[in-house]
Chain A
């Protein structure tokens, strides 16, 4: 086996993204968190830099790279703003659903604007009945006079209030065994009857908008359907498993690096008993534990993205990476706060935000228990 190393291009690309983040994100992340606003105005710039369509082929306006590069982008952004991280990551979800399941016509219609950042993407699956009770969705689609009429309410939807292109799953009937048939549609954000609803006041990942999206007799042409009737479950499932969980893992790798760097910075600047805090062994242990967890999360995450890029099955690997990275980000943020004493709870420092962002990352893309169930299932069955 070869040891784990990014390519020269990937290192350069990371540096380029970091430059963007330091110029446009780092100094504003605190404000976005405090005011809970999503910087939609950054989309065109992120588009121009190739961040909006990082894994989309160049022929559709993307950067033509893979999921490893996408994870690098999300990690770098989330080092300073996990809120913007999840907003972009959700944009990628809508984009991925169209890229991997759309017709050539659909791809040509939607991907260029999603890649250029002219439009914001979204994926609306979760309903009030719960995200993990996947097939229990209540939203419906009915074919009337040659158009599909969609009705329903989605909740806990990231980009709910900003998405211009929204991929929805609805139940369009029952199969011969009486099971619900789930179908996915692309809805234009400004379609009549499609509207954002309640906006959630979140603990963390502020700087992204999360809320309800409602469809009230929204008419869509059959050409807006992704693949065929009944394909919705697979589309939503694989997109969440392999793009969504990858994104959440990368976001938390970013938070973890933030914890490592903030702990190092604070402990070298803060003087206690006449010497920097980092000379105290108890503090050194904390820094080392942060580093170990960051490295572990990084390895798990990038191994999974490498598998995805190689076209290998990777749902279990992403479940493991997502479980570990999100949980570790909470542990590290808490530990970093502890290492800072009273300063840890002062909002001048970003670590409190890291803790809130880490906590909010756990339910996104499935709770830790869901990831463990997937992992257990795969492990017991010998996969």
Chain B
């Protein structure tokens, strides 16, 4: 038994370096110079889920809509264990919002073949809209579940899936083909082995551009996007702070004073003045 599985991947600037991101004061564009590109961390969980579900005769195809240098990220996914990779890349795809991105990805996936399951992460580290999984499933007309934490194959064409919302677990039964956006809690992505790295170079990586896809130009990229970006800016969050000095005990005494004036009763731990935080 083997499933034909696709995994959507996105190369993103490494979130560990987001504090270095700046806005060019003149051009008003995001400057991300010197920030390495990595595979979106959530997507590793999607890939891991796919590799676990694949079965001995199954295949895992990774797909990305990204600039040409995303080949490197796709090779990493191949090294982790995927069987084939597809890169959708064209200037015409640039500037797409989630609507146009999911439209293009859907076209690429339709061309790439028949799939039983598509896995995605829950969100990308950079844009973090969380929208692409659901929207991709909508374009394909497939059922989907977001934030899946556990998958169990209950029949040849059926999965039982547990999802997590804020304070609740839900169990669903879903018929294939379906799309699952995997939670970070769902698994621990495997590390890449040296053998995997060496095998990766021999695995197929296909690149498709605009002419390779059956798509409507008006639905691509920035012009095909219902949402349009306006100004960008850095959030103003600064506060004028007071520096407390002294040894730990002297600081403790000063802090207690500050807590008291904020309405925290030190004697009881209660809140004495109403208003402010909470719901």
Interfacial residues, chain A to chain B (CB-CB below 8 A): 8-9, 12-13, 15-17, 19-20, 23, 45, 48-51, 54, 58, 63-65, 69, 73
Q: List the B side residues contacting A9 at CB < 8 Å.
A: 197-198, 201
Q: List the A side residues contacting B232 at CB < 8 Å.
A: none
Interface assignment of B76: CB less than 8 Å from any CB of chain A: yes
In the bound complex, CA of A39 to CA of B54 (Å)? 32
Contact of A69 among B75, B194, B200 (CB under 8 A): B194
Contact B194 A65 (CB under 8 A): yes
Q: List the A side residues contacting B193 at CB < 8 Å.
A: 16, 48-50, 63
In the bound complex, CA of A63 to CA of B196 (Å)? 9
Number of interface residues of B (CB under 8 A): 13
Q: List the A side residues contacting B76 at CB < 8 Å.
A: 12, 15
CB distance from B55 to the nearest CB of A (A): 20
Against A, the Cβ 8 Å flags (1 = close, 0 = not) of B171-196 are 00000000000000000000111111
Interface assignment of B105: CB less than 8 Å from any CB of chain A: no
Contact of A63 among B194, B200, B201 (CB under 8 A): B194
Residues 183 to 232 of chain B near chain A (Cβ within 8 Å): 191-198, 200-201
Residues 52 to 106 of chain B near chain A (Cβ within 8 Å): 75-76, 79
Known: A9-B201, A12-B75, A12-B76. A20 touches B191 (CB 8 A): yes
Give the A-B pair count, Cβ closer than 8 A.
47
In the bound complex, CA of A49 to CA of B195 (Å)? 7
Contact A49 B191 (CB under 8 A): yes
Return the chain B residue nearest A20 by Cβ: B191
Knowing that A17-B194, A50-B195, A54-B194 touch, tell me 14 more A-B residue pairs with CB under 8 angstroms: A9-B197, A9-B201, A12-B200, A13-B198, A16-B192, A16-B197, A20-B191, A45-B191, A49-B191, A51-B194, A63-B194, A63-B198, A64-B195, A65-B194
In the bound complex, CA of A20 to CA of B191 (Å)? 6
Main secondary structure of the interface of A (DSSP, over half): helix
In the bound complex, CA of A344 to CA of B64 (Å)? 46
Q: List the B side residues contacting A15 at CB < 8 Å.
A: 76
Contact of B194 among A8, A45, A49 (CB under 8 A): A49
Q: List the A side residues contacting B191 at CB < 8 Å.
A: 16, 19-20, 23, 45, 49
Q: List the B side residues contacting A12 at CB < 8 Å.
A: 75-76, 79, 197, 200
Main secondary structure of the interface of B (DSSP, over half): helix
CB distance from B79 to the nearest CB of A (A): 6
Q: List the A side residues contacting B198 at CB < 8 Å.
A: 9, 13, 63-65
Q: List the A side residues contacting B201 at CB < 8 Å.
A: 8-9
CB distance from A88 to the nearest CB of B (A): 13
In the bound complex, CA of A64 to CA of B195 (Å)? 8
Q: Across chains A and B, which 6 residue pairs bring their CB atoms closest together, nearest first?
A: A50-B194, A16-B192, A63-B194, A49-B193, A13-B197, A50-B193
CB distance from B44 to the nearest CB of A (A): 10
Q: List the B side residues contacting A48 at CB < 8 Å.
A: 193
In the bound complex, CA of A13 to CA of B196 (Å)? 9
CB distance from B132 to the nearest CB of A (A): 25
In the bound complex, CA of A49 to CA of B194 (Å)? 6
Contact of A19 among B75, B192, B200 (CB under 8 A): B192
Q: List the B side residues contacting A54 at CB < 8 Å.
A: 194
Q: List the A side residues contacting B196 at CB < 8 Å.
A: 16
In the bound complex, CA of A12 to CA of B200 (Å)? 10
Q: List the B side residues contacting A58 at CB < 8 Å.
A: 195
CB distance from A170 to the nearest CB of B (A): 35
In the bound complex, CA of A69 to CA of B198 (Å)? 11
A-B contact pairs, 7 of them (CB 8 A): A12-B197, A16-B79, A19-B191, A48-B193, A49-B194, A51-B194, A69-B194
Q: List the B side residues contacting A63 at CB < 8 Å.
A: 193-195, 198
In the bound complex, CA of A16 to CA of B197 (Å)? 8
Q: List the B side residues contacting A17 at CB < 8 Å.
A: 194
Q: List the A side residues contacting B195 at CB < 8 Å.
A: 50, 58, 63-64
In the bound complex, CA of A19 to CA of B200 (Å)? 17
CB distance from B76 to the nearest CB of A (A): 7
**Interface-centre pick from B194, B195, B201 (highest chain A CB count, 10 A):** B194
In the bound complex, CA of A84 to CA of B251 (Å)? 42
Return the chain B residue nearest A45 by Cβ: B191
Return the chain A residue nearest B194 by Cβ: A50
Return the chain B residue nearest A13 by Cβ: B197
In the bound complex, CA of A58 to CA of B226 (Å)? 53
CB distance from A50 to the nearest CB of B (A): 3
In the bound complex, CA of A63 to CA of B195 (Å)? 5
In the bound complex, CA of A19 to CA of B39 (Å)? 12
Q: List the A side residues contacting B79 at CB < 8 Å.
A: 12, 16
In the bound complex, CA of A50 to CA of B194 (Å)? 5
Return the chain A residue nearest B75 by Cβ: A12
Return the chain A residue nearest B188 by Cβ: A23
In the bound complex, CA of A49 to CA of B198 (Å)? 12
In the bound complex, CA of A64 to CA of B194 (Å)? 9
CB distance from B27 to the nearest CB of A (A): 26
In the bound complex, CA of A73 to CA of B191 (Å)? 14
Q: List the A side residues contacting B75 at CB < 8 Å.
A: 12
**Interface-centre pick from B192, B196, B200 (highest chain A CB count, 10 A):** B192
CB distance from A18 to the nearest CB of B (A): 10
Q: List the B side residues contacting A20 at CB < 8 Å.
A: 191
Q: List the A side residues contacting B200 at CB < 8 Å.
A: 12
In the bound complex, CA of A63 to CA of B200 (Å)? 13
CB distance from B45 to the nearest CB of A (A): 14
In the bound complex, CA of A13 to CA of B198 (Å)? 8
In the bound complex, CA of A327 to CA of B201 (Å)? 38
In the bound complex, CA of A229 to CA of B228 (Å)? 80
Return the chain B residue nearest A16 by Cβ: B192
Q: List the A side residues contacting B192 at CB < 8 Å.
A: 16, 19, 49
